[in-house]
Structure 1
């Protein structure tokens, strides 16, 4: 059963990039509309059972919990804006690999804050960023547009790391349902403001556009994330984090098969380096905190794979 859920989770989150790219390329849907609706629908789905079980749950949110939730929501909104836009400029494989650097960005943020890491983490960071240099170097030769897409995807990974760390702070005392509904709801509101300020419509799409939005929300937001949330109750966080990294080659394979996307030969080497580097980072984080409780990276693993 766990193997089936793991495969379902990987397929769900890996489908995010290809589905978004296909929807943006074949319909009138805007990038921010995708971000808005997947968060708005996700918030409604998560809030409903929470309100039924404990109607006063949201009223008990403290000021500290709310502040961390706001930080997480702002980071998540900007993450979606960067990542989804990057899919219009660079390849699905490159964008997914670069945005999945969030685990490495978390380690970097912790280093800046004075957290000491084991040597494996530092080695993993070097390997992962070597993969970044390889991908962005090849895209620089391909086109300035592709390079901009790579940079946006990297920014999306950094913002996902901030979202994950802020979510970990909020969830120290909040239930998953309350936090997720609150964060997704505020994120949807922020994305709506961004859409209004940039003139991107949130409604008025053709049938294909709405079908794409529903597919993205169901596959990536509800099926993929829900599967990983369930696995965290029955499998170790380290193993779940390893499984999540399969999103990188999964998205590349789906894009190649359904979108007929081809990559420069050297880009495959960059993808492999990022995958290896992130694996080393996560293992180093785990080993470095053995016997000292759950590390900051592991607390919010349910929110990893935000794409």
Structure 2
């Protein structure tokens, strides 16, 4: 019962992400920058107190290769936030959320590039998801060029999210969750800060409601949502949780409809439905790939993010 409740809270928490981004009266890059700066600030004190020995090890020559994986993951995460968050302000919340949910599809292609075999059912899911994405984006072609740009950015965000997960998998083999998270989010925040300064994107002067939206993103999607999914994984199979995560898409659409007055475009709904069906098939088909389990690791609420992501897509790994 508690696990089911945690999963429900997590779905609701992550579903608020895109509506909050669309609601915030600030540039998406600035929101992404503050989101990661605040998240880093929430985790860094714990690491500086409890993980100082590990940090010193990463600074030595023998640890620099492991630290490099963290840095590369941070760069990929910055690219993810830098593409997906603007997409939520350019296209509809429903479409942006659905397109970024294609991450497992791109994760499959990364696994293929690494020489791993994918089940036939996974290929069927990929084909269905790609067809759904094409239909959803095609519906926006006749609607608004701005929406099409948002669709493409959301797809790019899914690709970078898959790269972030793949790189994080390498780093997490030998680095604790909290240390990895601090370095990764810190690099991501620094990159986004440089981009904002170079592009003269304002980082201050926002309304109080915008700052509340940013805090909501950190506390909701970035901390609470993934932490509850992590808790649910102790009682609910990872495959079930992965499919439940897809409920973020209709959840975000309903919140945007109720709160922002964004009525989903009817022409895009068939494509979005096929897209979600394809992703679900990819997730379910991937369970046929046997993998070793990832041992849980204790840590603060933020630790749930990486643990959840690793378990969400662990079926793309081979022994």
What is the TM-score normalised by the length of structure 2?
0.88
Residue 242 of structure 1 aligns with which residue? 243
Report the secondary structure of 1:87's partner residue: helix
Equivalent-residue separation in structure 2 for 1:267 and 1:212 (angstroms): 27
Deviations 1:154-183 (A, max 9, x none): 000000000011111111111111111110
Query: Does 2:182 correspond to 1:185?
Result: no
Query: Does 2:257 correspond to 1:251?
Result: no
What is the root-mean-square deviation in Å for CA atoms of aligned residues? 1.8
- Residue in structure 2 matching 1:47, options 34, 41, 44: 44
Equivalent-residue separation in structure 1 for 2:235 and 2:66 (angstroms): 27
Residue 35 of structure 1 aligns with which residue? 32
Residue 309 of structure 2 aligns with which residue? 303
More deviation, 243-252/226-235 = 226-235
Is the contact between residue 19 and residue 215 of structure 1 (CA under 8 Å) also seen in structure 2?
Answer: yes
Count of matched residue pairs? 296
Query: Does 2:273 correspond to 1:272?
Result: yes
Report the secondary structure of 2:153's partner residue: helix
Is the contact between residue 120 and residue 281 of structure 1 (CA under 8 Å) also seen in structure 2?
Answer: yes
Report the secondary structure of 2:148's partner residue: helix
Is the contact between residue 253 and residue 264 of structure 2 (CA under 8 Å) also seen in structure 1?
Answer: no
Deviations 1:88-110 (A, max 9, x none): 21100000100111111000122
Residue 212 of structure 2 aligns with which residue? 211
Is the contact between residue 125 and residue 281 of structure 2 (CA under 8 Å) also seen in structure 1?
Answer: yes
Residue 68 of structure 2 aligns with which residue? 67
Is the contact between residue 92 and residue 252 of structure 1 (CA under 8 Å) also seen in structure 2?
Answer: yes
Q: 1:86 to 1:75 in 2, by over 3 A?
A: same
Equivalent-residue separation in structure 2 for 1:229 and 1:59 (angstroms): 28
Where structure 1 has 5 or more consecutive residues not aligned to the other structure, the ranges are none
Equivalent-residue separation in structure 1 for 2:233 and 2:184 (angstroms): 20
Where structure 2 has 5 or more consecutive residues not aligned to the other structure, the ranges are 295-304, 313-319
Is the contact between residue 165 and residue 300 of structure 1 (CA under 8 Å) also seen in structure 2?
Answer: no
Equivalent-residue separation in structure 1 for 2:205 and 2:145 (angstroms): 32
Equivalent-residue separation in structure 2 for 1:58 and 1:203 (angstroms): 32
More deviation, 60-69/73-82 = 60-69
What is the TM-score normalised by the length of structure 1?
0.91
Query: Does 2:171 correspond to 1:170?
Result: yes
Is the contact between residue 181 and residue 306 of structure 2 (CA under 8 Å) also seen in structure 1?
Answer: no
Equivalent-residue separation in structure 1 for 2:56 and 2:219 (angstroms): 29
Report the secondary structure of 1:142's partner residue: coil
Deviation at 1:122, TM superposition (A): 0.1
